[in-house]
Amino acid sequence: MRRLLARRMKFHLFGAFFVSIGCAALYKFGVAEPRKRAYAEFYKNYDPMKDFEAMKAAGVFESAPPK
C-alpha cells in the first residue's frame, strides 16, 4: 500500500493528458477546420455592396433611407 496515491496519480495524470489532447484534436478537426472552410467559401463570393443595397432597400438603416 506504500505510494499507492502516487502510482494512481501518475496513471490518472497521463490518462487525463491524453484524453485532453484527443478532445482538442477532435474539436480542431471536427469543428474549427470545417468552420474556417465555410467562412472562406462564404467570403469568396460575398459582395458587401450588394448586401448593403439590399439592406438599404429594405429600410434597415436610418442614415441611408430607401429610394
CB 20 within 8 A of CB 13: no
H or E element: which one contains 15? helix 4-27
Tell me the average pLDDT of the chain. Answer: 94
Per-residue pLDDT averaged across 26-41, rounded?
A: 98
CA distance 41 to 34: 10
| Confidence check: pLDDT of 1 > 90 | no
Q: What percent of the chain has pLDDT over 70?
A: 100
Q: What is the pTM of this model?
A: 0.68
Fold of 30-66: Cytochrome C Oxidase; Chain I (4.10.93)
